[in-house]
């Protein structure tokens, strides 16, 4: 099993839902084969999602230091970190030290192609052609 297949059910669901889906901690716990939620299970869920090429938010939901009483009904949004526009925007908000925030967020809500970088223009063309 490759790293991208460590959470096959949630990964497949996320990709089938167009690259973003919502899941409960109970669903994620069950997929990994655990019976109870706890500090180490939250960490394992977060690490497994990352290893599978998925991101999640809100990040504090899977942080045992912040979510000291996890409940199976709590939800997280899971997204495919495929390098597409959605993933880049979410990553810019969640991990601003790791990207060009101004470049990624500067074009939200605008149809002005002049505000796009050359790479963003190419990405937009690819998105249009692939749909």
At 45, the pLDDT band (50, 70, 90 cuts) reads very high
- Kindly report, residue by residue over 47-76, the tens digit of the pLDDT: 999 999 999 999 999 999 999 999 999 999
Helix (H, G, I), strand (E, B) or coil at 87: helix
Which pLDDT value is given to residue 4? 44
Do residues 69 and 94 touch, judged by C-beta distance below 8 A? Answer: no
Of the candidates 120, 124, 127, which has an alpha carbon nearest to the alpha carbon of residue 102? 120
- Whole-prediction pTM value? 0.75
Query: 3-40 pLDDT, tens per residue?
Result: 444 567 899 999 999 999 999 999 999 999 999 998 89
Greater confidence, 79 or 83? 79
């Amino acid at each position: 099993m490759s790293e991208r297949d460590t959470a096959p059910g949630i990964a497949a669901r996320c990709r089938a839902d167009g690259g973003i889906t919502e899941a409960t901690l109970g669903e994620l716990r069950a997929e990994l084969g655990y019976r109870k939620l706890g500090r180490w299970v939250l960490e394992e869920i977060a690490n497994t999602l990352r290893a599978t090429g998925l991101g999640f938010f809100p990040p504090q939901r899977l942080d045992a230091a912040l979510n000291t009483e996890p409940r199976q009904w709590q939800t997280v949004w899971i997204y495919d970190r495929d390098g597409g526009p959605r993933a880049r925007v979410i990553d810019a908000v969640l991990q601003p030290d790791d990207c060009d925030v101004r470049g990624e967020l500067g074009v939200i809500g605008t149809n002005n192609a002049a505000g796009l970088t050359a790479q963003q223009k190419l990405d937009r063309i690819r998105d249009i052609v692939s749909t």
